[in-house]
Structure 1
Amino acid sequence: MDESWFRLVSDGVRRYLDEVVASARTEHGALAREAGRTAAAWRTLLRLHGGAGGCRECRRQRLCLVWQVAIGYFIRRLPDE
């Protein structure tokens, strides 16, 4: 996977997670805590699955299943969204 393409994808996922956390913080309470925890878990998982030190598929310059799921849920949008 081309490094510049990977950077665009990872920036898009991180931006989405930041937006979700910021939106949840306006709600306060348990929702904000859970959104922050979920976003932190995804950030950690994605950090482990990227670059030369990532998973086996990432080292082969491919998009591993973890990144495929992240792109599907966090970057792609349903037509009505």
Structure 2
Amino acid sequence: MDELLHRALAERIAAYLDTVDRLVVEQPCSAAYETRRLVAAWRALLRQHHPAGSKGRCAGCGRPHGGRGHAGMCTVWRVAVAYFIRRTAHHR
């Protein structure tokens, strides 16, 4: 996955997680707490799996981030794109 694509996907996922974070204000205290924990966990996981080094390998699992499309993403990024970008696009 090239740097431009990674940046675009990271921005879309961050926007989704920010939206979820804002929605918890309307939830009961325990639900809000658990939702915030999940959002924080996803953010931490995505930070650990960012492309790094000259070859752009995943910093978390070592998988190459190179290549075209989603085939060049590590599993963590594939899941994030599937649930936080594709899924929300289908629910609009």
Instruction: Identify unmatched segments of 5+ residues in structure 2.
Output: 54-58, 67-71
- Identity rate, percent: 40
Report runs of 4+ in structure 1 exceeding 3 Å deviation: 78-81
User: How much does 1:28 deviate?
Assistant: 4.0
Corresponding residue number in structure 2 for 1:56: 62
Aligned partners of 1:74, 1:14: CA distance in 2, in Å? 9
Alignment deviations for residues 20-69 of structure 1 (CA, whole Å, 9 cap, x no partner): 11101222401111111000000000000012061311x44230011000
- Greater fraction of residues in strand: 2
Instruction: Output the amino acid matched with 1:33.
Output: Y
Distance of aligned partners of 1:40 and 1:80 in 2 relative to their CA distance in 1, 3 Å threshold: closer
Corresponding residue number in structure 2 for 1:70: 80
Say whether the 8 Å CA contact 2:65–2:74 is kept in structure 1: no
Q: How many residues align?
A: 80
Aligned partners of 1:72, 1:15: CA distance in 2, in Å? 15
TM score, norm. by length of structure 1: 0.86
Instruction: Output the amino acid matched with 1:73.
Output: Y
Distance of aligned partners of 1:19 and 1:80 in 2 relative to their CA distance in 1, 3 Å threshold: closer
Aligned partners of 2:42, 2:51: CA distance in 1, in Å? 16
Say whether the 8 Å CA contact 2:21–2:39 is kept in structure 1: yes
Instruction: Identify unmatched segments of 5+ residues in structure 1.
Output: none
Distance of aligned partners of 1:60 and 1:9 in 2 relative to their CA distance in 1, 3 Å threshold: closer
C-alpha RMSD of the superposition: 1.7
